[in-house]
Structure 1
Amino acid sequence: MAPPATSMADIPDVMLEEIFLRLTAAEDLARASTTCPSFRRVIADHAFLRRYRALHPPPLLGLLQDTFSPAQPPHPSAVAARAFLGFDFSCSSFLPSTPGHTWRPVDFFDGRVLLAGAPDKEDSRFWVRDLAVCDPVHHRYVLLPAVPDDLKALAPQLDLLNLEVFLAPGQNEENPLSFRVMCVAQCTTKLLILVFSSSLGGQGQWHAHTFDQWSGQATSASDGSFIHSHGGLSNRQFVHGCFYWHLHFQNELLVLDVRAMELSAINLPPERGTNSFALVEAAEGMLGMLTEGYGEDPDSDPFWLTYSILRNNQWHLNKVIQLPVNDAALVGVAGGYLLLEALYTTTAQEALKFGCFSVNVKTLQVQFFAELSKPFMYARLYAGFPPSLCAPTI
């Protein structure tokens, strides 16, 4: 007599996990979860979802400004992005509200949203009064303690050029719920970085890192123009565990290693000129750079990207990528893609359209991402999985 056939329900959970971890597309994993209850139980487990996220970083799904503009077919992210149509990323429905007080999104990073709160009529350009870190999918949030007065005093407003607040990876890399919030205060005589870490639990407090060598860079411009340049740092980007800022007037990148909390500098290629650039992860832990390029006549000359890799402290040109657009501006990098906002046409007789194109940072393939009704001036990028495949981040 033949042995009874093995059903799907008889496959051990451990084996199912290993099978599902090999599904590289989130939509395939979502379809598998609807096949049978045992599949759904394994896939919905938060520990499994975190393992999956570690192996397959979530893709870029869309742009956020006043509303969410998702990836559109035929882009590979379009199916997953559809799940976020009409989604409320403002977190206003579950954050505590106070009359005359508004929460404003400041940063999106690793499935979390950082929001700053201040009275509606108050200029919150400097020290914000309230900060909250939210998980927009699971409606969870953490209210951060106020920055203590003694730490604020380290950067008096008369000395403060600019203040930037953003999310950073947690100190405990083994804990998926760990995160940090950083405040970078650019002063005329120093760079002050205040850090809040969730790894310290309910007793988490702000602590300071002061870099006095900043004074040498802050006054390096012979005419003192750096001091009047709104801080001199711009275009913050995160690659390989480090934050990078463009350091004006020196054609350099200022690098903050968030593991060691150490600063360093990297020279930019001199031929870059004033063109915009985006930093990306290159193979073998190296740093890559995509820089926009265009001819002398923007109405007729083509647009392109140059891809360079930093080896032994020297930038080496690797590839030139032609862009099927009439004009373009770099938006940012997230979820394995560089996103460009562009003017383009599909035929010579067609009127110009607004839209976005993506560049896969591994393959350098250019794809249409989405058509837009208007240009997005200060859009933020959102990378993630469909809500059913998201484990809590707080």
Structure 2
Amino acid sequence: MAAAPPPCCPRSLPALMEELVEEILLRIPPDEPAHLFRATLVCKPWRRILSHPGFLRRYRALHRAPPLLGYFYNLISHGDPGLKPPFVSTTAVPHLDTSGVKWAHDCRHGRVLIEAPGGGLIVWDPITGDKKTLISYTTCAVLCAAMDGCDHLDCHAGPFLVVCCGTNLGSQGFETWATMYSSETKEWSALISIDVNHCLDARPTRLIRNALYLSLDYGKTMLKYDLIRHELSVISSSPRVTGAIAMELDDGGLGWSWQDDANNGIGKWEEADVVMQLETLLTEEGNPHFYYGVVGFVEGTDTIFISAYAGLFTLDLKSKKVKKIGEKRGYYRVIPYMSFYTRDLAKGGLPL
């Protein structure tokens, strides 16, 4: 009887071409950074691809908008708006050490503008760990120095601008002023000012194209700071409007979201032709007799943060989708932190 032939060796699956692997890895969603880091542990070729500067640049360019990694918030507590704004992570990003932070002012283009104990501003990049200390003013904003001329995909370590504004009460009424710091020149610009009937409040600033919009008298009036011409102007709204925030429309123009004072204290927000009643959107948690207020927004999107008696909510102005993200009450201001969390940016900053 003839001997049985030796068993055939199982065929190994052919390896994917490196170009195909790269195309697959490029499509890992950025909204959960842990997935990208786990992929580096699969094998050395994947780690080499994921660590290459060219891949990381393509990755950010493909996904464009940085994901929301979490948000800072300041609470109102017996008239004293929060002394230590914590950071709430919405992803698996490691905990940020906010000890010693007195107040969170602004966040844009990967940088957070915070106030330190004893006064002074700190421009902080939580991903890289870089910090720059400046003097402090009333209302502040931070942004990339290239403004509208940058795609903001790799400008974490680049030059930045800090805009500071304040209101003085003089014999002729309120005078609002502004100045701008450049990290390139390490100097503040000359003060510019404008006479207004109201003072600045601490509501979130909004960057639309090359102009910064700040709130006066709880959003009843907007102050526009033209970052190119270094000019101030005032945009008034209806006397019934309060709590207005500037919104960027699809065509890049200026829109509005606001609360109608004539609506018996019930929150009503409007953008273009879209009108939403918050007491119907928050039917499960809401109570029409409790106050609703907008306390922040995700810049570059149609999402706003709403503080209500039942907690903190996000509202998409287009889809009308509401999501509860916080249990606390009395949010004074919410500052979302958006950034790509990739290996090249995280060196020296957050742990991987």
Equivalent of 1:339, from 301, 305, 308?
A: 305
Name the CA shift for 1:295/1:164 in 2 (closer, same or farther; >3 Å): closer
RMSD: 4.0
In structure 2, C-alpha distance between the alignment counterparts of 1:367 and 1:360, rounded to whole Å: 9
Q: Name 2:164's counterpart in structure 1.
A: 183
Equivalent of 2:71, from 56, 62, 66?
A: 62
Displacement after TM superposition at 1:285 (Å): 1.0
Equivalent of 1:206, from 187, 206, 209?
A: 187
Equivalent of 1:195, from 163, 172, 180?
A: 180
In structure 2, C-alpha distance between the alignment counterparts of 1:280 and 1:389, rounded to whole Å: 33
May I ask how many residue pairs the two structures share in their alignment? 303
Answer whether contact 1:50 1:391 (CA < 8 A) is retained: no
Answer whether contact 1:307 1:318 (CA < 8 A) is retained: yes
In structure 1, C-alpha distance between the alignment counterparts of 2:30 and 2:241, rounded to whole Å: 38
CA-to-aligned-CA distance 1:243-279 (integer Å, 9 cap, x gap): 11234499542212324433344342x2x61432232
Equivalent of 1:11, from 18, 41, 45?
A: 18
Name the CA shift for 1:275/1:183 in 2 (closer, same or farther; >3 Å): closer
Equivalent of 1:89, from 65, 83, 98?
A: 98
Equivalent of 1:365, from 318, 321, 327?
A: 321
TM-score norm. by structure 2 comes to 0.68
SS in 2 for 1:7: coil
Displacement after TM superposition at 1:332 (Å): 0.7
Q: Name 2:203's counterpart in structure 1.
A: 235
- Within-5 A mapping of 1:80-119: 80=91, 82-84=92-94, 86-90=95-99, 105-117=104-116, 119=118
Aligned residue type for 1:371: E
More helix by share: 1
SS in 1 for 2:203: strand
In structure 2, C-alpha distance between the alignment counterparts of 1:57 and 1:138, rounded to whole Å: 16
SS in 1 for 2:189: strand
In structure 2, C-alpha distance between the alignment counterparts of 1:112 and 1:138, rounded to whole Å: 10
TM-score norm. by structure 1 comes to 0.62
Answer whether contact 2:30 2:340 (CA < 8 A) is retained: no
Answer whether contact 2:307 2:313 (CA < 8 A) is retained: yes
Answer whether contact 2:203 2:214 (CA < 8 A) is retained: yes
Question: Which segments of 5 or more consecutive residues in structure 2 lack a partner in the other structure?
Answer: 1-11, 75-83
Q: Name 2:294's counterpart in structure 1.
A: 330
Displacement after TM superposition at 1:116 (Å): 3.9
Q: Which of structures 1 and 2 has the bigger CA Rg?
A: 2
In structure 2, C-alpha distance between the alignment counterparts of 1:43 and 1:30, rounded to whole Å: 13
Name the CA shift for 1:308/1:113 in 2 (closer, same or farther; >3 Å): closer
Identity of aligned residues (%): 20
In structure 2, C-alpha distance between the alignment counterparts of 1:243 and 1:304, rounded to whole Å: 25
Aligned residue type for 2:138: L
